[in-house]
Structure 1
Amino acid sequence: MSLLAIKDLSLTRHICLFSGLSVSIVKGDRLGLVAANGRGKSSLLRILAGEEEATSGDVTRARGLVTAFAPQDPPEHLLSLSFHAAVLDALAPEVAETESWRVDVLLDDLEVDETLRGCAVRGLSGGWQRTMLLARAAVVEPDLLLLDEPTNHLDLGRIGVLQRFLGALPRDCAVVAASHDRAFLDDVTHRTLFLRPEASEDFALGYSRALQSLAENDAARDRQYENDMRKVRALRQQSAKLKNIGINSGSDLLVVKTKQLSERADKLEEQARPGHLERSAGAIRLTNSGTHAKALVTIDDAAIATPDGRPLFKTGRLWIEKGDRIALLGANGTGKTRLVERLRAALVGEDRHIRGAASLELGYSDQALSQLDAFPTPWDAVKQRGVLTDHQARSQLAGAGISIDAQAAPVGRLSGGQRARLSMLLLRLSQPNFYLLDEPTNHLDIEGQDMLEGELAEHGAACLFVSHDRAFVQAVATRIWVISNRRLVEIDDPAAVFESLLSG
């Protein structure tokens, strides 16, 4: 049974985000919504939730349909409430008064610790704010659950909780999830909608298989377009030849035939459609300044501790060599970010347990992209990082997806995807040969993730990174370090670690 149907839906802002979209969502659907940053995914979810209007088209909802939407960020009025109160706030007052127990049961299902339930939303991490928003949506027991980037800021343990929670929803409950997390989409969805300005594609397949089918469809359209255009050229050549013969011979029949061929060519050309060409949200380009040192970083049994001195683990004796791309894995709270911070401090200062080669040039990015906070505008960020002319600075920023208008605007107005691309641009301008990256894919769309994967592999710069993105780890890492039982150990295959972290 159809819960919701959209017909010929279009949305235009400063550009057309999507048009002619017709999709039905039925009971039990698990639909993944995929598009580049800024291409209308969040807007489409808000339209489905009834919070925003489309430019044109129709949305038909089943009688009595209960829809709930978990956005990316909490609205202002929730920030001063506690975690528990923010979830309770989603219920109608009369229900909240008599059935507050529903919140407690739900937070138990989502494995929210009792100590967090009384904390103000404003003070929660990004991951816990996402969990709160999911709980607010789920507590109303919806028929249709809409999720906007639900895994962003979640570690693998919390992603595992989320996946188990979605798997345990009532069979009739439909879920639409906009996400850039490829492994998550493969695990929880069985339909995929690729949102495009024209001719969006809907496949009854999980993400990876749907992507393969999409590529095959695009390739077939490209071949058909080339065939059609060859026919157009042949018709025009034949028309031109007959036209010359007709003029010279004075034949009215040839003049008519010439006109018919020309009209056929025009009609065929008008109907021909090339394969989809995705407009990039901005390029990601990295570099490797190179080094003659074999070992860029030497770690000699460093003790990693919390800020208040509580010991977390010991590293043992390890090396990072040229070309190594090391993924650092471990459960939440085991000390991944603490090791990254210790490495960064050691490589720009002194540490008797951690030493960098004399030729090491560090490029660092944290998961909050706080390195951007030092700059009032993207223009200032680029101009202060290198010896670029004004023309070069404008060109570099535009290439990273930051328009001329946005270049002089406050950095805080950039979208998450734009901030991520700006941080990668600043990394490249610093000319590093060793990248230290904490959750580098947090704000990147799938196109950006693919670019980053390719750049790290192509340039061969050494890298140590923390990531919950399983697809990214599998594509990039040449070595795997895992924090386990208060030790840092190296393993060959991350699959067992992923399974362990997801299962909790």
Structure 2
Amino acid sequence: MLKLENISYSVAGRNLIEDASVSIPTGHKVGLVGRNGTGKTTLFRVIRGELPLDTGSFSLPSRARIGGVAQEVPGNEVSLLNTVLAADVERATLLADTSTDPARIAEVQTRLADIDAWSAEARASTILRGLGFTADEMHEPCSAFSGGWRMRVALAAVLFSEPDLLLLDEPTNYLDLEGALWLESYLAKYPHTVLIVSHDRGLLNRAVGAILHLEDKKLTLYQGNYDTFAETRAARIAVAASENRKIEARKAHLQSFVDRFRAKASKAVQAQSRIKAIAKLKPITTPQEAALKRFTFPSPEELSPPIIRVEGGAVGYDGKAILSNLDLRIDQDDRIALLGRNGEGKSTLSKLLSGRLELMKGQMVTSSKLRVGFFAQHQVDELFIDETPIDHIRRLRPTETPARLRARLGGFGIGAEQAETLVGKLSGGQKARLSLMLATIDAPHLLILDEPTNHLDIESREALVEALTAYTGAVILVSHDMHLLSLVADRLWLVKDGAVKPYEGDLESYRALLLGAPEKKSDKKTETQKAPKPKRAPRLSVLELRAEVRKCEERVEKLERMRARMDEMLADPTLYSERKHAVPELQRKDGELKVALKRAEALWEGAIAKLEAAEA
């Protein structure tokens, strides 16, 4: 159990956390939420022991391992796979043991078997594949990848090491939709305690079972996912507001008596008692509500449709087409989400539509007055850190007054104080708001947004949804935030296998498709038009299912016996003194047996489930 008792922490005299307590049971998965700047990352550093508490204490089970994502994976020549494998320090240490003592060798081999060392490469490959790396890329050096991709490697490494307490701070910021959905599924099955800072509602709804809210310097644990937390908290605020209205009405009634009779000697005692009663009526403390910092996108003039038309198009780099046979139309009222795995060409399509790439063949017709706004995550990193937001906007609008420039920044939630602050000292969310303002300053007819919600807190994401809903231009979205996509996009384009096609399903069916579940199809036919039902495969009888269960059980028992014999062989000291040449082959077979046993157990469990359903 992770236990925080009456902890307090301050920075430069400002209290971030004050006398806060919470207990998180072992194995629970908890989302840590709160507005930007409230101290979530600081709390992680306290738990890791990087920052000393002012007061209070925290405790974990003895020998519990704490793990978090490294700030960056070094750009060395070590392969991605070996970088991830090295995260299991015990395994690496055991494999590096060069002892010639047969007893020590047997001890090492027994421990390697206990920690499932021989299937480690397969587990590491599965994690890297889930985070978007191909089989070939896993064997390339870290130096061949950009900082964002190295962060994925860092995430893979900590997931592979399976710490007892996993601390993740905005892990989806460097992932695409496919990687984010895989992470949701992985964390839901993670065998130990997870504490995750995230503003991704999809992740907080599907991967955690409780929400830890940091607000007003206190920690409050809510059971349930994010939607349940939001409903519970809203109800609590409503109750507090109702009670405060009653208190204010009572105070007003008492005050009216005091005002009427304060000067009358005969009522002086009653007036004084009511003054004392008013002093005792304290309002119920309600959570600090963040002022919703809205986005204000300027409205473009209306253009005749379509604003973009592509026919028979092909686009790519260095004469090699990435996307071909493009037949696309975009109108000014379109809201389009681009789906597709990383590397399929979503960024290439975005560059084409924004005028950053030319067609290799075919034709693209655009409205003569078309203005396109483009926002990508890398643009946030390209802001001038030694300039202020006012400096950035003045470069684009040199003739406007300072008051007008500040008003533009205010429309994107950048206040007067932040307007004069160097960009290098702004938070990630404030930088994202500045980049969004610069991308939309010319009132574009088409706004292309590539991961716009990174670094934005939940309140800011909701404000962005409202702004995009009210926006009168076309929007093309690339995002891992399914909540944003579901509320904004009304068309889905799938970028896959060098083509761009409309996706006929919805986002939930796409999620199911990515996670390996059968895709759900809506029945668009009326009762009189329904197609005939396909013939079903014959259902197995209960007797046949019982036979299948017995067969699976026998397979599991056989593999367990084989594994037990293999463990005995690997634990025998004479193996390493008399038959050293046989060790690598036995280790390989041991790893294969473990994988086969897991598969057999899964088949056995599936057969039991089918039998139970049939018997019911």
Which category describes the TM-score, using the shorter chain as reference length? 0.7 to 0.9
**C-alpha contact 1:225 1:274 (8 A) present in aligned 2:** no
1:106 Cα deviation after fit: 4.2
Partner Cα distance (2:371, 2:253) in 1: 58
> Residue 124 and residue 189 in structure 1: after superposition, are their counterparts in 2 closer, same or farther (change >3 A)?
same
Unaligned ranges ≥5, structure 2: 98-111, 518-616
Moved more, 153-162 or 345-354: 345-354
Residue in 2 aligned with 1:321?
Answer: 331
Residue in 2 aligned with 1:295?
Answer: 306
> Residue 374 and residue 358 in structure 1: after superposition, are their counterparts in 2 closer, same or farther (change >3 A)?
farther
Please state which structure has a larger fraction of its residues in helix.
Answer: 2
Partner Cα distance (2:200, 2:325) in 1: 30
Secondary structure of 1:345's counterpart equals coil
> Residue 298 and residue 46 in structure 1: after superposition, are their counterparts in 2 closer, same or farther (change >3 A)?
same
Residue of structure 2 aligned with 1:4, choices 2, 23, 28: 2
Secondary structure of 1:74's counterpart equals coil
Unaligned ranges ≥5, structure 1: none
Is 1:384 the equivalent of 2:405? no
Partner Cα distance (1:389, 1:135) in 2: 50
**C-alpha contact 1:157 1:503 (8 A) present in aligned 2:** no
Query: What is the identity, as a one-letter code, of the residue corresponding to 1:342?
Result: L
Partner Cα distance (2:49, 2:177) in 1: 32
> Residue 102 and residue 316 in structure 1: after superposition, are their counterparts in 2 closer, same or farther (change >3 A)?
closer
Partner Cα distance (2:188, 2:380) in 1: 35
Identical amino acids, percent of aligned pairs: 27
Residue in 1 aligned with 2:567?
Answer: none
Residue of structure 1 aligned with 2:511, choices 482, 491, 498: 498
TM-score using structure 2 length = 0.72
**C-alpha contact 1:102 1:139 (8 A) present in aligned 2:** no
Residue of structure 2 aligned with 1:358, choices 349, 362, 368: 368
Partner Cα distance (2:427, 2:178) in 1: 27
Partner Cα distance (2:146, 2:201) in 1: 23
Residue in 2 aligned with 1:339?
Answer: 349
Partner Cα distance (1:393, 1:359) in 2: 25
Partner Cα distance (1:116, 1:11) in 2: 43
TM-score using structure 1 length = 0.86
Partner Cα distance (1:494, 1:150) in 2: 21
Partner Cα distance (1:482, 1:94) in 2: 45
Partner Cα distance (1:268, 1:102) in 2: 66
Query: What is the identity, as a one-letter code, of the residue corresponding to 1:104?
Result: E
Partner Cα distance (1:134, 1:455) in 2: 33
> Residue 221 and residue 129 in structure 1: after superposition, are their counterparts in 2 closer, same or farther (change >3 A)?
farther
1:406 Cα deviation after fit: 5.2
Secondary structure of 1:368's counterpart equals helix
**C-alpha contact 2:314 2:362 (8 A) present in aligned 1:** no
Query: What is the identity, as a one-letter code, of the residue corresponding to 1:181?
Result: D
Residue in 2 aligned with 1:284?
Answer: 295
Which whole-Å deviations, capped at 9, do the CAs of 1:188-212 have from their partners, x for residues lacking one? 1110122212554421111122212
**C-alpha contact 2:81 2:138 (8 A) present in aligned 1:** yes
Partner Cα distance (1:404, 1:101) in 2: 59
Residue in 1 aligned with 2:248?
Answer: 229
**C-alpha contact 1:283 1:421 (8 A) present in aligned 2:** no
Partner Cα distance (1:207, 1:426) in 2: 32
Is 1:272 the equivalent of 2:271? no
Partner Cα distance (1:477, 1:151) in 2: 20
Residue in 1 aligned with 2:268?
Answer: 255
Residue of structure 2 aligned with 1:156, choices 153, 177, 194: 177
Partner Cα distance (1:102, 1:130) in 2: 24
1:303 Cα deviation after fit: 1.4
Which whole-Å deviations, capped at 9, do the CAs of 1:408-453 have from their partners, x for residues lacking one? 5553443321221101121332221210111212232212211111
Secondary structure of 1:147's counterpart equals strand
Partner Cα distance (1:74, 1:461) in 2: 38
Is 1:369 the equivalent of 2:368? no
Partner Cα distance (2:223, 2:341) in 1: 34
Which whole-Å deviations, capped at 9, do the CAs of 1:125-179 have from their partners, x for residues lacking one? 4553333323443444422111111111212332233234323432xx1111111
Query: What is the identity, as a one-letter code, of the residue corresponding to 1:137?
Result: V
**Map of 1:22-37 to 2, 5 A cutoff?**
22-37=21-36
Query: What is the identity, as a one-letter code, of the residue corresponding to 2:30?
Result: L
Secondary structure of 2:336's counterpart equals strand
Secondary structure of 1:151's counterpart equals helix
Moved more, 137-146 or 463-472: 137-146
**Map of 1:172-187 to 2, 5 A cutoff?**
173-187=192-206
Partner Cα distance (2:370, 2:348) in 1: 21
Residue in 2 aligned with 1:463?
Answer: 475
> Residue 164 and residue 304 in structure 1: after superposition, are their counterparts in 2 closer, same or farther (change >3 A)?
same
Residue of structure 1 aligned with 2:231, choices 194, 208, 212: 212
Query: What is the identity, as a one-letter code, of the residue corresponding to 1:480?
Result: L
Partner Cα distance (2:396, 2:361) in 1: 27
**C-alpha contact 1:457 1:476 (8 A) present in aligned 2:** yes
Residue in 1 aligned with 2:128?
Answer: 111
**C-alpha contact 1:343 1:354 (8 A) present in aligned 2:** no
Moved more, 153-162 or 468-477: 153-162
Secondary structure of 1:152's counterpart equals helix
Query: What is the identity, as a one-letter code, of the residue corresponding to 1:266?
Result: A
1:120 Cα deviation after fit: 5.1
How many residue pairs align between the two structures?
A: 488
Residue in 1 aligned with 2:559?
Answer: none
> Residue 53 and residue 461 in structure 1: after superposition, are their counterparts in 2 closer, same or farther (change >3 A)?
farther
1:275 Cα deviation after fit: 4.8
Query: What is the identity, as a one-letter code, of the residue corresponding to 1:329?
Result: L
Residue in 1 aligned with 2:188?
Answer: 167
**C-alpha contact 1:291 1:359 (8 A) present in aligned 2:** no
**C-alpha contact 1:304 1:311 (8 A) present in aligned 2:** yes
Moved more, 346-355 or 443-452: 346-355
1:488 Cα deviation after fit: 1.4
Partner Cα distance (1:41, 1:447) in 2: 16
